[in-house]
Amino acid sequence: MDIISVKSLSKNFQIPEKQPGIKGTIQHFFSRKVKNVQAVDQLDFSIGEGEIVGFIGSNGAGKTTTLKMLCGLIKPTSGSINIAGYQPIRRKKNFLRQITLVMGQKQQLIWDLPPMDSLKVNAAVYGIPEQESIRRIKELASMLELGPELTRPVRKLSLGQRMKAELLASLLHRPSVLFLDEPTLGLDINAQIRVRDFLMEYNKQFGATILLTSHYMGDIKKLCKRVLLIHQGKLFYDGLLAKLSDQLSPCRCVKIELVEPRPIESFLEFGDIINYDGQLIKVLIHKSKLAENLSKLLNLFPVKDLEVTDPPIEELIGKLLQEGSFK
């Protein structure tokens, strides 16, 4: 059964155009010009109850705009959205009780107060009885491995602890539909793993439907069997991650820190250089040549530090579309 249904969804923004300087400001005051920007263009997709779906694309592709429309924060220019039988833009109370939006770069917790104080406010807003709210807080805190952190001021918590407390606050009313926009943004690898494990457990325990955007391929691979790939507001791919995985991640990102600078030409043979700063180089190396090239790099250059990671999703998608190899 589909819990999210999106048909011909589009969103246009009118962006003011102004020339720089005082002259441009005066001209803009008397003769205002605007440019039409198509942020989302005719999206069609549906998501079944209990599914975890990855929503991926490069920066500016329209992911966050789409999530905000799904939550009713932005009115679509055209098209329709149905979530659990509700039209999001009407912002009905029963609809708001069923959804949550978590944005990795935004926070709802009050900076100078402990998370527990914000949690009590959230419980009151949603009309959750005191004993039930205490039980839910304990349950979610246990799943998130939060304890004394809930009684410390938010400003005293690490980024990972704050993100887990934000998740707890967003899920206290036990929503059935989760919209997650970069929930692991800026977290270290251990914190990312804990958040992923929690989301899998929450989905398993409560049957929640999750639509997730992330810059980290690790999040998508761990949580999602299905992905929606969006580019310039259009839906390019809707299907199994396994079919897209080889195209999206044929390479590894190798970050090399050298003892002394070397010219960029020294590294051209190893792969696509995505960043160069004399002593710090990032290069994309194909998986089939990774072991061989790592051995060469260590033998040829005075390496101070070396790190191998999955490249950011937007880097991979941009390269894929540039080469015209997307299928």
Token pair, residue 109, equals 């917790």
Token pair, residue 9, equals 């969804």
Task: Determine the average pLDDT of the residues in 86-113.
Answer: 91
Same domain, 113 and 239: yes
* pLDDT > 60? residue 324: no
Same domain, 224 and 266: no
At residue 248, the pLDDT reads 62
If you write DSSP's letter for every residue of 165-233 in order, what string do you get? HHHHHHHTT--SEEEEESTTTT--HHHHHHHHHHHHHHHHHH--EEEEE-S-HHHHHHH-SEEEEEETT
Task: Determine the average pLDDT of the residues in 126-155.
Answer: 94
* pLDDT > 80? residue 327: no
Q: End of a domain among 214, 245, 276? A: 245
Same domain, 90 and 229: yes
Phi, psi of 15 (to 5 degrees): -105, 125
More confident residue, 286 or 175: 175
At residue 14, the pLDDT reads 87
Q: End of a domain among 230, 245, 260? A: 245
CA separation for the pair 86, 94 (Å, rounded): 9
* pLDDT > 60? residue 326: no
Are the C-beta atoms of residues 15 and 188 closer than 8 Å to each other? no
Split at pLDDT 50, 70, 90, the class of 16 is confident
223, part of any domain = yes
- Render pLDDT for 248-273 as a digit per residue (tens, 0 to 9): 667 888 999 999 888 999 889 998 88
- Render pLDDT for 17-63 as a digit per residue (tens, 0 to 9): 877 888 878 877 778 788 889 999 999 999 999 999 999 988 888 99
Terminal alpha carbon distance of the chain: 28
CA separation for the pair 269, 272 (Å, rounded): 9
At residue 159, the pLDDT reads 87
Same domain, 160 and 258: no
Start-end of H helices in the chain: 21-30, 63-71, 93-98, 115-125, 130-144, 159-171, 189-206, 217-223, 241-248, 290-300, 313-323
51, part of any domain = yes
Are the C-beta atoms of residues 44 and 7 closer than 8 Å to each other? yes
* pLDDT > 90? residue 115: yes
Task: Please report, rounded to a whole number, the percentage of residues in the chain having pLDDT higher than 90.
Answer: 59
CA separation for the pair 154, 271 (Å, rounded): 43
Count the domains in the chain: 2
More confident residue, 59 or 136: 136
User: How many other β-carbons are positioned within 10 Å of the β-carbon of residue 172?
Assistant: 21
Token pair, residue 295, equals 């051995």
319, part of any domain = no
**CATH classification of the domain holding 269:** 3.30.70.980
Task: Determine the average pLDDT of the residues in 216-226.
Answer: 88
322, part of any domain = no
CA separation for the pair 75, 29 (Å, rounded): 28
316, part of any domain = no
* pLDDT > 70? residue 145: yes
Q: Among 252, 262, 270, 254, which Cα is nearest to 306's?
A: 254
Same domain, 264 and 197: no
315, part of any domain = no
Same domain, 67 and 136: yes
Its pTM stands at: 0.78
138, part of any domain = yes
91, part of any domain = yes
Say what angle helices 189-206 and 159-171 make with each other, to 10 degrees. Answer: 10
**CATH classification of the domain holding 106:** 3.40.50.300
Same domain, 160 and 255: no
Same domain, 146 and 277: no
Same domain, 238 and 127: yes
CA separation for the pair 233, 256 (Å, rounded): 35
CA separation for the pair 278, 262 (Å, rounded): 6
Task: Determine the average pLDDT of the residues in 224-229.
Answer: 93
Q: End of a domain among 245, 260, 276? A: 245
Split at pLDDT 50, 70, 90, the class of 125 is very high
Same domain, 202 and 287: no
What radius of gyration, in Å, describes the C-alpha atoms of the chain? 23
Which residue range(s) make up the domain with 68? 2-245
Same domain, 170 and 272: no
CA atoms within 13 A on the CB side of 207: 4
Same domain, 257 and 220: no
Are the C-beta atoms of residues 115 and 109 closer than 8 Å to each other? yes
